[in-house]
Amino acid sequence: MTTMLHYFPLAPASAPGYTAVMNGKDVWIPDDQIQNATELLEEAPGSELLEHIPMDQRYEALFKGLVQHGSDVVMILEADGQVRFCGPSARSLLGYAPEDIEGRDFFSLLGNGSSAEQQAMFSSNLAAEYPTFSASFSIRRADDIELPVEAAASNYLHNPDIEGILMTLRDVTKQKKAEERALFYEYFDPLTKLPNRESFTRDVDRNITIATNRGRVFGIMALGLDRFKLVNDMYGTKTGDEVLKCSADALRNSFRNDDIVSRYRGDKFFVLFPDIKSQDHIKEIIAKARAAFIDPFRIGLGQELRLSASMGVAFFPNDGREAAELVRNAETALYMAKESGRDGYRLFDARLNGELLERQRIESDLGQAIGEQRFEPFFQPKVDRQGFIVGAEALVRWRLASGEIKGPAAFIDVAERSGNIDRIGSQVILKTCQLAAAWSEQGLPEIPISINLSPRQFGQETLVEDIEAIILSTGVDPRRLEFEITESGIMTNERESIHKLLELKKLGAAISIDDFGTGYSSFSKLKDYPVDTVKMDKSFIDPLPSDRKAAIIASAIVDLAHTLSFTVVAEGVENHAQLDFLDSIFCDQFQGYLFSRPVPEPDFRRLLLQGATLLPRQA
């Protein structure tokens, strides 16, 4: 008669005893009852005592049963990540036979972009001797499809019976899809797949921050379909929905990728134009919006429907400094356009023409101011967590003949369009280097000074030679200089930009990426640039610490920057709550109104002499 080993005895896993067959059924006999049970077995026909199973084998039997019949993949890893054991569920979940995985590096199975990060997290958790830890990532199946999983790990390295990491992998594809669907419908219109009202409002808020920092003008357009109610009444709401989808596609295809098209509500669309350069640009925007409705829409059964749209446009900052105000004013202009007839547009007011005249006047004044060298640097301190000055940023200011000081928002855009930004930038670099050299002679702390390079200025062929000449003429230590360039400034001509950055570093200067996160680069690109510092843009700092998504983004930027050995500076810190959060995620340096506004050189020199903390006491 064949002896059988039963993996699921009907007794607690901790109880040693015997398995037996009695009347054709499996039974479990504890050790302390074996004598009485033997007599029963002898009397029962076809009964048999099978095998004694010690306690440790009971644990092993239970573990094997769970592994073989569970849907999760169970693995045992060595401390270096090598797979010692893999459960059979790997066949159904990952498409691998267990023996194909055993002996492999677990992290080689992970999806693109997550292997190094997860391996670092795995190692840090082991180093901290956490008993359990978990993570979410993608694992590559045998058919090369990436499968989202949740991993739970238990550290049994010091358990002599296991001496490994017990890892379970659970397929979370359905959960991920549900989360993605929920997130999509939170910010996108389900009919047209365009950003919805909430998403558009957030985009306007973000562009307000960026435009304020950079002195830009941006516009939003409210666009309403003419006589759309008649379409619904004549053809039904199903056809009306098709018209809305066709309108959304036409608008999306008419504008640039940088422009944001949104379905706001009903037959009303909004479009955000991030950077308005001139009156001609406004005319171009209106023409593109009209072009979206030149061709008729096909509405089924061979029918075509011609539509037109009315438009209202408002501009930041002239027509509003908050998202709600801008939207309201654009809608007001739209209503005015509709009252004037179909297929028309109205600007919220006529002040843009006055502003263009003002820009022409500014352009004329700039030339005179450059000749009189009226541009000078103000300095905004960079501080450590205790508020002590560890650096500064030189920020251009225009000192008028009357003594009035104008900030960059009043003239930078005009200076860039007119080409005067090159000469203004050179003046600021020269004066900053002269002042830094003078501070050294006076025995002041030799902190690094950051100087902004505009994209146009950075594109100058002779930039490096001009900076080198300034360094030699002023005698400033080039190791004290840090040049800040935006992401977009580098990506205009990536190869040439990298060469130029390397040349600046050869001079001894450091390189900083300004407003990181607001352009199109990423850490995968940034790792190839000769960069020392990353400045986290103010638009990420403003919502902290209450905005969960902003907090996650800020934490990720700091973590990844540190992984690449970059210093992280948070700009625009305005309150203690922001500072406390940024400190908790190990941000290196801080800059903002909480510590000091940009101040003229004499005031900044006094701050250096005092050497006191700039961190204000909390009330």
pLDDT in tens, 329-346: 898 888 878 867 778 888
**Residue 614 backbone phi and psi in degrees, to 5:** -100, 5
Question: In the structure, what pLDDT confidence band is assigned to residue 22 with cuts at 50, 70 and 90?
Answer: low
At 289-323, the pLDDT tens digits run 988 998 888 876 677 888 899 999 999 988 888 99
Residue-level pLDDT at 1: 33
Kindly state the average pLDDT of the residues 204-228.
91
Point out the least confidently predicted range of 272-276, 352-356, 460-464. Answer: 352-356
Asked if 386 and 504 sit in the same domain, the reply is yes
Q: Are residues 423 and 315 in the same domain?
A: no
* pLDDT band for position 13 (cuts 50, 70, 90): very low
Q: Which DSSP category does 617 fall into?
A: P
Q: Which of 139, 155, 177 is the last residue of a domain?
A: 177
Q: Are 98 and 86 in contact (CB under 8 A)?
A: yes
Higher-confidence residue: 128 or 76? 76
Is there a single domain that holds both residue 35 and residue 133? no
Domain presence at residue 359: no
Residue among 519, 318, 278 nearest 417 (CA): 278
Tell me, yes or no, whether 32 and 140 share the same domain: no
| pLDDT score, position 352 | 42
- Is 270 within a domain? yes
How far apart are the two ends of the chain, measured CA to CA in Å?
Answer: 86
pLDDT at 7 over 50: no
- Domain endpoint, select from 125, 147, 177: 177
Residue 133 sits in the same domain as residue 207: no
What single-letter DSSP state applies at residue 520? S
Task: Tell me the percentage of the chain whose pLDDT exceeds 70.
Answer: 84
Q: Residue 605: what pLDDT? A: 95
Is the pLDDT at 50 greater than 70? The verdict is: no
Domain boundary pick from 314, 349, 384? 349
**pLDDT score at 343:** 83
Per-chain mean pLDDT for the chain: 84
Q: Which residues pair with 313 in a beta bridge?
A: 221, 347
Mean pLDDT of all residues in 173-181: 84
> Rounded to whole angstroms, how far apart are CA atoms 144 and 387?
51
Whether the bond between 478 and the residue before it is cis, its omega within 30 degrees of 0, is no
**Token pair belonging to 70:** 């569970």
552 inside domain: yes
Instruction: Write phi, then psi, for 306 (nearest 5 degrees).
Output: -95, 135
Confidence of residue 280 (pLDDT cuts 50, 70, 90): confident
pLDDT digits (tens, 9 = 90+) for 427-442: 999 999 999 999 999 9
At 285 the three-state DSSP class reads helix
Q: Please give the residue range of the domain that contains residue 48.
A: 1-56
Angle subtended by helix axes 173-187 and 197-214, to nearest 10: 70
Stated length of the chain: 619
